[in-house]
Amino acid sequence: ETSQYLDIIHNKKQECEKLLDQLTNWLELKQSTYANLLDLPFENDSLSLESKINQIQNEHNTMIEGYTLLKSIETLQNELKIINTDDDNKILNELIEQYNEQLKSCDSSFVEIISMIRQIQININTFNDSCQEIEHTIEQQRILFKQFIDNNYNILPDNLNQQIQRLKNLQREIETKTNSMIETLKETPINETKIEYLINNNQQLKLTILEEIDQRESLLTQYTEFLTEMTRTQTNVISLAQKPDSSISDEDYMK
């Protein structure tokens, strides 16, 4: 009976050592897997990030295996406590504590990396939404400009001031609204190419509107100069008619 009891104790000690080796190997494998997942490139794409999150989450879900191994070791440790030496119990307790800390650290690492990627995903989605909003805004402004040109194709002098003011209002809206949206977008440069595209698109519209303003202001200046010259001529004619100059012939007056 004593021999049988000793065999049981021996088997439990062997089982405990086996479980400790299993947990050591399991933790090394898990930490290696975690490091490999971190080495994978982070794509600026929400779907790719979602796939990466699922991959990491699947690994995180296996943490229960490590905690189960540790629980089995703790159970055996309690059974062996009364027969182990104080030194053996102390060593085993320290090992259990170390493994427990390693499991918690590994667990936290998975949670943190998932949280970090989730935040990156949120930032990308916000960036993409902002890009779409800016594109829509530029397109709406382009449509307004086209409508203005279509409705004011025949440039009439009397309406030039009003037309120029409307164009300047549209340009001011671009300066205050669209430019501000793009500047905000540049604070999270997730996709530099996309930002550059929006900047160029917006700048092209601004230049087109500015050219139209310059053209109509030039016409207004010409028209104003023409009216000024006409007024001056009329004034001179009236003045001459009221105060005939004897040195000027009737034929010159008619001219």
Per residue in 172-229, pLDDT (tens digit) is 999 889 999 999 999 887 889 999 999 999 999 999 999 999 998 998 888 888 777 8
Distance, in Å, from the CA atom of 186 to the CA atom of 190, rounded to the nearest integer, reads 8
Torsion of CA 153, 159, 160, 163, to 10 degrees: -70
pTM confidence score: 0.69
How far CA 20 is from CA of 40, 47, 69, 93, 100, in Å, comes to 31, 40, 8, 12, 12
> What pLDDT band is residue 158 in, cutting at 50, 70 and 90?
confident
How far CA 54 is from CA of 32, 51, 78, in Å, comes to 18, 5, 38
**pLDDT tens digits for 27-65?**
999 988 888 887 766 677 888 888 889 989 999 999 999
What is the predicted pLDDT for the residue at 2?
A: 59
The mean pLDDT value for 140-166 works out to 87
Question: Is residue 23 a contact partner of residue 88, using CB atoms and an 8 Å limit?
Answer: no
Question: Is residue 103 a contact partner of residue 63, using CB atoms and an 8 Å limit?
Answer: yes
In the chain, what are the domains?
2-123 (1.20.58.60)
Q: Is the pLDDT of residue 122 over 70?
A: yes
